[in-house]
Amino acid sequence: MSTFEEQATKAVENSEIPGIVAIAKDKDGNLNYSKTFSRNGGTVYKEDSVLAIASMTKLMTSIAAVQLVERGLITLDEDVTPLLPSLAKLEILTGFADDGTAITHKRTKPITLRTLLTHSSGVAYGWADPLLLKYIEWKKPDTNADTIDEAFDQPLVFEPGEGFTYSSSLDRTGQLIEKLTGLGLEEYMKKNIWDPLGMTSTTFSPREHPDIQARKVPMGFRDDKTGAAVETGEPGWFEKGATCTQAFGGHGAYSTMADYIKVLHSLLVDDEKLLKKETAALFFQPQLTPASKAALLKLSRSGTDWTIGTFPETDEYDWGLGGILIDGDKHEFRRRNTLIWSGAANTYWFIDRDAGVCGVFGIQILPTFDAKAKDLITAFEEDVYRRAGKL
């Protein structure tokens, strides 16, 4: 079987992948892996190449929110809607009348920070929920919306705490952070996450930082006919946040993999640069209610593409405060309470505190859930455990 590096080299040389930055570290300082792959005549990928990290933004927003819990500005389980009137007014979508009009009713349970962080608040992405997608098609919202209130003015799809669906809830969490601190999300993260870790190439607004913008690699798109990765110069569909008037905490950030590994490693070694030890521990503990966990497991068995990377049908999944959580011991190499998530352009990260390893896989290829990227991510993740002597 080919090693990860052999597979990655071949994929790039064959123009199946535009380029890769892969970085991994372990807890003890024995593993410090960094490798880049670039195709001849194409974009050069480097450690300091800037990528649109999309939903990898969510981990940083989650950290920022839990920092506010530490400071006593909010709790995980109080109703947040008094602080977010635009969220408070949303009702629950139950169906459509014969004339096509949406049928909604008022929620009876509070939306809390815990439900926002775990995608169990009832908020949803249209692409992730068929009923909400039908609503969006009926409502025909403004596709040029550049604020979170405008972009996600859509009903809930279940009572908070009674379901699970991947969602825009971290964008709402970003609004909450701004409301509680009086700071823009970029300003808050720079002061409380990026600067403490020495992250100098992370931003929601690359165009406002010429050095960062100059290192931004173009998005690659899979050509349906040839299978090649083509860099057209067009942005990804999720990059709206780069030109919006508000930072989208669910998908709007840009970063280098050299920067992003600092977040992962800080949580891995528990150095308290971001969170106190007892608070960081919550990130790696199951957070879903029984009803929400059942909904997540049902989704994981459905065969629907909603995760990047490989997730065998072990029925051992939950959600921590910052990503999907391995909730059992059946996986081939991941340990219990490993935290994982990804970004729309097939970027990917993981933290396994039991095995003492973390890694980030940087790439820019669409569509999301690209099969070739999935194979490479799987090979990379397994290779990290092998290099760390954890297989």
Antiparallel, parallel or unpaired: β 347-352 and 92-96: unpaired
Opening angle at CA 383, ends 252 and 62, nearest 5: 30
Which two tokens mark 169? 């809830």
Antiparallel, parallel or unpaired: β 220-222 and 365-366: parallel
Q: Is 317 a catalytic residue?
A: no
Q: Which of 27, 58, 190, 216 is catalytic?
A: 58
Whether the bond between 130 and the residue before it is cis, its omega within 30 degrees of 0, is no
Q: Is 225 a catalytic residue?
A: no
Question: Nearest Cα to 120, choosing from 291, 299, 344, 244?
Answer: 291
Q: Which residues contact 236 (CB under 8 A, 6 or more apart)?
A: 52, 54, 219, 344, 345, 364, 366
Beta-bridge mates of residue 326: 317
Q: Is 166 a catalytic residue?
A: yes
Which two tokens mark 200? 């100098």
CB-based contact 213:62 (threshold 8 Å)? no
Q: Which of 15, 38, 49, 55 is catalytic?
A: 55
Which two tokens mark 248? 């989208």
In which residue are the tokens 């970029």 written?
186
Question: Nearest Cα to 304, choosing from 368, 228, 361, 383?
Answer: 368
Q: Which of 166, 260, 317, 348 is catalytic?
A: 166
Active-site residue list: 55, 58, 166
